[in-house]
Amino acid sequence: MKKLNKTTEERKENLQKSLGRIFNNFLGRWYLKVPKGKKLHKVTPSSVHYYTGGLGKNGQPLICTGGCSPGGRFVFNRVMSLAKVVSVFAFIPLFPNSLLPLIALTDTGFHSPTVLGINGFHDPTNAYTEDGNFAYYGSASTGTIAGYKTWSLGITAGSTINGIEVGCKGELNTEGLDTKVWVEDAAAGMNYEDQTWDTTNDWYYSGGSTSLWGKSWTAAYLNGTDFQAGIANNTGGVVYYLDNIKVKVYYTIPVVVPTVTTQAVSDIDENTATGNGNITDDGGDSDATRGICWDTSATPTTSDSHATNGTGEGAYTVAMTGLIAGTKYYVRAYSINSAGTSYGSEVNFTTEDLTYSSPLPAFRRQ
């Protein structure tokens, strides 16, 4: 890639545009030149951040697969996903000790509350929906808050929480003052961020895809009834009007072992047969290998005779060869992904016997 004699921000913008074109117009592998003397940092799942730039083929994840030394070439290729994501991630060396990470995270979408929490506002339930009816507060004192909970977020159990975003639609009776937006962990208390509101009823946002508000969160807690978010008046004598409040959680779903079933063996002959399986859930890893294993003893595994046929969810067949005529075999479908190996139930069959035919001897009457 040609080096640009421009500012840092101009370099980032040009690289983003270039990458968008590359990701949208090419399939398979993408090659980018690492400028000499520029360091390519090690890629790890924990080091990715949010970005909404160009997408790769089918939104597949991308990762550096080798040759990442300074002055060399590194490759972005479609690989096994460590978690369900909706876009792509990549790591681009711009200049020493700097990267432009790209990722889009799975999120819940924005959800409004259904239950009041800590609340000192008038008509607090007006903030459940965006309809121009306000929850409000105004007095000479400070510190009065509006709190809401039970957001019906539906985060997958065991997911890693990457960030929380809080949106507030509201207005003040005085231009350009701060409103404190907060989230609460029952064990650790509230953490605040400031939003600057004005006198027009509009949306304001705090947090984001990588903001944890200084706390650690679990899917179970955020899905429950204790997690609260709300606002607090920051200036005495100001009237705070809240039309609607909503929360979005960014998270990644953990990969689990696939779910696989075994069907009856078909096309049975003396030395061959066809094994049948079906991956009904890839466990969050679309590159899950699928196969059939068999043996003359029960409970066969991949350490016994086995063969594969492709990857991903769906029904599949595998040719079983080298069988012994007239022999009983035990068969299981299996699938392997980054979380491990799983097997379907066991079926069995017996190969055909070898048959011989010869003419009957002729007998002469004496």
pTM of the shown model: 0.57
Check: CB of residue 137 under 8 Å from CB of residue 179.
no
Tell me the average pLDDT across 277-287: 92
Question: Which two tokens mark 195?
Answer: 């939003």
Secondary structure element (H or E) that encloses residue 27, with its range: none
Residue range 294-317: mean pLDDT, rounded: 97
- Identify the pLDDT of residue 185: 83
Confidence of residue 365 (pLDDT cuts 50, 70, 90): low
What is the C-alpha separation between 235 and 175, in angstroms, rounded? Answer: 12
- Kindly tell me the burial class for residue 304, based on how many C-beta atoms sit within 10 Å of its own C-beta (0-12, 13-18, 19 or more): middle
CATH class of 259-350: mainly beta
pLDDT at 154 over 90: yes
Residues of the chain with CATH 2.60.120: 115-254
User: In this model, does residue 277 exceed pLDDT 90?
Assistant: yes
Mean pLDDT calculated for residue range 118-138: 91
What pLDDT is recorded for position 282? 92
Q: Give pLDDT, residue 236.
A: 73
Q: Is the CATH number of domain 115-254 3.40.50? A: no
Helix (H) or strand (E) holding 94: strand 93-95
d(CA 19, CA 33): 12
User: Tokens 């070439």 sit at which residue?
Assistant: 73
Contact present, 55 and 21 (Cβ < 8 Å): no
- pLDDT above 60 for 312: yes
Where in the sequence of the chain do the CATH 2.60.40.10 domains occur? 259-350
Q: Is 310 left (phi over 0), alpha (psi -120 to 50) or beta?
A: left
pLDDT tens digits, 56-82 = 333 333 333 333 333 333 333 333 333
Q: Is the pLDDT of residue 110 over 50?
A: yes
Token pair for residue 49?
């951040």
- Band (pLDDT 50/70/90 cuts) for residue 209 is very high
